[in-house]
A = this chain, B = another copy of it.
Amino acid sequence: MEKKDTFDVTTLKYDEKGLIPAVVQDADTNEILMVAYMNEDSLRKTFETGKACFWSRSRKKFWLKGESSGHFQVVKEIRTDCDRDTLLLKVEQIGGAACHEGYKSCFHNMLPFAEHEEGVVGDRVFDPDKVYKE
């Protein structure tokens, strides 16, 4: 059985930019917190540190989630899908909110479908004006 410290991150499929999307899910409630992108280096760092690390596409740099806000994501499980081109991380979200806007989940915008009206769902956990915006 392959061990943690020998997992070969090159066995996954990255896109033409060297990135792989990662769905981040609350390990307790299964709520989807966010989707972000990793490269090989940030995935290695995630394995090494146990905290979710990404590649920031907007800032074009390595991104330890929580490095500025303190809202780290402590990783409990890492899975990949049948195509090995997407990751699923189950995490404990420190601070209770993954979204830089202060919501628990980045997916707080309901679109108008079926009985749902368009609008924000979910409560704000913190005031985003008081923390660094990741």
Q: Which residues of A contact B (CB under 8 A)?
A: 1-4, 6-7, 21, 23, 25, 29-32, 34-35, 47, 50, 75-84, 86, 88, 99-101, 103, 106-114, 116-119, 121
Asked if A112 and B2 make an inter-chain contact with CB atoms under 8 angstroms apart, the answer reads yes
Q: Is the CB of B35 within 8 A of A77?
A: no
- Give the contacting residue for A118; candidates B7, B34, B109, B118; CB below 8 A: B7
CA–CA, A121 and B82, complex, Å: 12
Copies in the complex: 2
Contact (A119, B23) CB under 8 Å given A82-B108, A86-B35: no
Chain B min CB distance to A97 (Å) = 11
A59 to chain B, nearest CB (A): 13
**B78 close to A106 (CB less than 8 A):** no
Apart from the given pairs A7-B112, A79-B109, 18 other A-B contacts in the complex at a CB distance below 8 Å: A1-B119, A4-B113, A6-B112, A21-B21, A21-B35, A25-B32, A30-B32, A75-B113, A78-B110, A78-B111, A78-B113, A78-B116, A79-B107, A79-B121, A80-B107, A82-B103, A84-B109, A88-B107
Q: How far is the CB of A46 from chain B (nearest CB, A)?
A: 8
Chain B residues within an 8 Å CB radius of A114 = 4, 50, 75-77
Nearest-CB residue, chain B, relative to A23: B23
